[in-house]
Chains A and B, each alone.
Chain A
Amino acid sequence: MKKNLLKNAAVQSLIASLLCIVLGLLLGFIVLLFINPSGAGEAILAVVKNFWNYSRANLQAKNFGNTLVKTAPLLMCSLSVLFAYKVGLFNIGAAGQYVVGSCACLYAALAWHWSWLPCLLLSIVVGGVYGAIVGLLKAYCNVNEVISGIMLNWIGLYTTNMLLATVKEPTSPYTLHLKTDATQAMLPTLGLGKLFSDNGNVTIAIPLAVLIAIAIMVLLDKTRLGYELKATGNNKNAAKYAGMAEKRNIILTLIIGGALAAMGGAFLYLTDFEQWSVTQSSVPGMGFNGIAAAFLGGLNPIGTIFASYFIQHITSGGAFVDLSKYSSQISDLISSLIIYLCGFVLFIKYAINMGIAKSEEKAKQKAAAADEKGGAK
């Protein structure tokens, strides 16, 4: 019998994710129709086109590079969320871990004039420690990781603003430019920028992030540690009974998750693509978008690479909408709609499986009926 392609779990995830994207765009479109019916179609197109809104090839390449520059940190954040989720933990604290990671590398670069590698390593360590707080609270004090993660997001934001205020430009709320004040801390480009019409912000961060995604997949699927971590996620008590150190596993997971998200912060701020504003009063959306990317990617590290790119693609695309009609936040609206729809993924898969079961049942009945006819002859 021919194997039904729809039965494949990976295919189902892909269908579910694509369905979420299409429905998300559709719902976004409907919202835009309500706000201003005349330009809704164009606005959605502008968001989806992103850098293709430019007609010149070199500008396209440059802006494609810019989107990739921001995809790398997003991918790291979503890997952080994904990794924790595989162990049954919802790491909403990724947003804060990303913030303290950014803080650590910027401070080390600007105040201590460290070069890029130690800056990156410091970010990883600080992020790991920050994640460990959540893990310790969860393992030993039974504090829900979502609540503690949120609290730490805000604590991290205010601490970062306080610390980075010492290395900001005298006349603006932004931190000093690495290009002028700390060139030694800029991530090396290894000539990658040339591919994107001399976009100096395209650095090794992008290939590194992809490599880390693959490493995470190997860790989760091919190693004993990954197996233990997933077992802890599936059933904490069973894992404990089987002799696994469930407390250690929880803490370790959040250390790794914290390190991943913090690395994302370093991947963005060590390229000098953006400066940190020390007056910002809300936690950057990078970590939250990471949640979107992780679930849109079907909780698979490789899927997450594409999902991160997609989320960043439409987020960057938000800048191209006609600002006299809509605001650039419509891309936030669409990505949050997509996450909401991701909540229905289980149901979509269930529906697909039910559909398959029904059609198979029908086929069986038909076959049985045909057999009977044949027997009567």
Chain B
Amino acid sequence: MQYFFNWDVVWRATDKLAYGLVLGLGMATFALVVGSVIGLASALVLTSPKLKALHRPVRWYVEIIRNSPLLVLVFFVYFGLPQAGIRGLDNIGSFVLTLTLYAGAYMTEVFRGGLASIPARYIESGMAIGLSGRQCFFFVTLPVMFRIVLPSLTNNLISLFKDTALASAIAVPELTHTARWINVQTFQVVEAWTSVTVLYLVVSYLIAFVLRRVERRYAVIR
């Protein structure tokens, strides 16, 4: 079989590709930020002896989400929830909701680990200079924890960005969906998928490169 390369099909779809890229990055960033809030709250619940009653439901949330395939969750939320009367989410909204809940479970583990690995002397020093428990939490625990978990945040952002590829399954016009569109419209298979692969790679490594510098700037002195 003869195959003729024609990279024009990619250049002609530049606007679609750019839109897909921005949409993917946007969904991943939103999921990371809101997921971090969920994760931090869950991690605090899990480390608090006072909230023992909530430990079990939070653990269930984390374990179930971490052990279920994202695609099944996406279908469950997109096709299942409207059946239960929860309507009003379009495909982008329902994917973002799913990805955020998914990220929240992973971020819980990240923050739990971060909280556990704060050296005790930091908190002791905080107490020693007379900070109250609340002040100690906001001015010592939180900042130190964020510095510790920064590398995991980077990794999670990259893997969430790659996970946005699954949104194409419910026709969200992100990168993978655009590649499929080019593929189906033009049959220039190699061009479509190579260009999208390169875009994913370049963006992932760019995120890693930029955020590694930020990490170095805020590296913890242990």
A, B from the same assembly: no
Q: Interface of B with A (CB < 8 Å)? A: none
Q: Interface of A with B (CB < 8 Å)? A: none
